[in-house]
Chain A
Amino acid sequence: MTDFLLQPWPWWFSGPLIGLTVPLLYLLAGKGFGISTSFQQIGALCSPRSKLDYLKNYDRRQGTWTLVFALGIVIGGFIGSQWLSAEPIEFLPAKFYSIGGAIKLFIGGTLVGFGARYAGGCTSGHAITGIANWNFPSVVATIFFFVGGLGVTWGLGHILF
């Protein structure tokens, strides 16, 4: 059992448990599972006097839980990689450990942050929670997540990676 837990977890173990967090978060906290709203929360907190409607009209106190949730994921990442892994996890390939790699991550991160907020959610809020609740726009969003991802990988992959 310990051996099993210290190895990478197979999809049939981790996938269903990830799905379970959706009803779990509703039952235990009354919250809809989603992660990228925490970016808006950080923006509204860091720029309390912003004149931009997107940050000005955002309710920071109602959104505090999104940061608590994100903090939980940070802690979980620590536990999973430091205490629950027999071998170190290779998060990013060696080629990212360069100035070019850091720039790529920053630009890619910008697309992630901009796109998730423009689409109104990310993989968790749209692809998992949205589809699980038969929310049609979330199906569209998920299809376009893959349009963008496949387009970049197959169209620009030879330049980027």
Chain B
Amino acid sequence: MATLLDNQNTDHLAPAPTAETETNPTARSTTSAVDSSLVYATTLMVGTFLGILFTKSEVVRWQRVHEMFLFQDSHLYLIIGSGVAVAMLGMAIIRKCEASDIYGKPIQYKPKPFHKGVALGGMTFGAGWAITGACPGPIYAQLGSGVGLAGFTVAGALAGMYLYAWAKPHLPH
């Protein structure tokens, strides 16, 4: 797989991020490289595929999420479990083959760091998930499905993001 993808090296389509943006996250955006239109096209495609899956799997339904937390319904546990298993297998194959993406760039997972917010924020997130019956992906899928009330959830999510932006310097990390 790796060699196949290497042969299709289309590096010129996607300018690699400059060293500056990689090492200096505080750099202002205007100088940094942007993705090619092909990246946006494939991203849109995968996103659409995912939106269909979220909707058709009923991850987007409040009742399903509620019954998951009540241990009345194994549906969501099985979705998350089988999803993680397949993703894990896929990533193992990618590592084993040292596969590159279709632009020729090596695929590398960027680990998310540990800090106190992983637990504190995680708990807050879980509480919101149980109340709204939707995590961020399904919120977007609800919007697309024309659920007007999802506008309140989105507005709340953005308010929460601003709240975090404001509170970040004062929170334990």
Contact = CB atoms under 8 A, between A and B. Distances in A.
Interface of A: 5, 8-9, 11-12, 14-33, 35-36, 38-40, 42-43, 50, 52-55, 57-62, 64-65, 68-82, 84-85, 89-93, 96-97, 101-138, 140-154, 157, 160-161
Given A23-B91, A29-B43, A75-B48, A104 B131 contact: yes
A5 B55 CA distance: 12
Nearest to B16: A30
Interface size classification for chain B: 35 or more
A143 B29 CA distance: 35
Interface of B: 5, 14, 17, 21, 25-27, 29-30, 32-35, 39-40, 42-63, 66, 69-70, 75, 78-88, 90-91, 93-94, 99, 101-103, 105, 107, 109-115, 117-137, 139-147, 149-150, 152-166, 168-169, 171
Contact of B136 (A39, A77, A82, A89): A39
Interface of B is mostly: helix
B164 A114 contact: yes
23 contacts: A12-B82, A16-B82, A19-B83, A21-B46, A28-B102, A33-B87, A54-B164, A78-B146, A81-B145, A89-B60, A90-B63, A91-B142, A108-B130, A113-B161, A120-B113, A120-B121, A122-B137, A128-B84, A129-B109, A132-B88, A133-B109, A144-B120, A153-B70
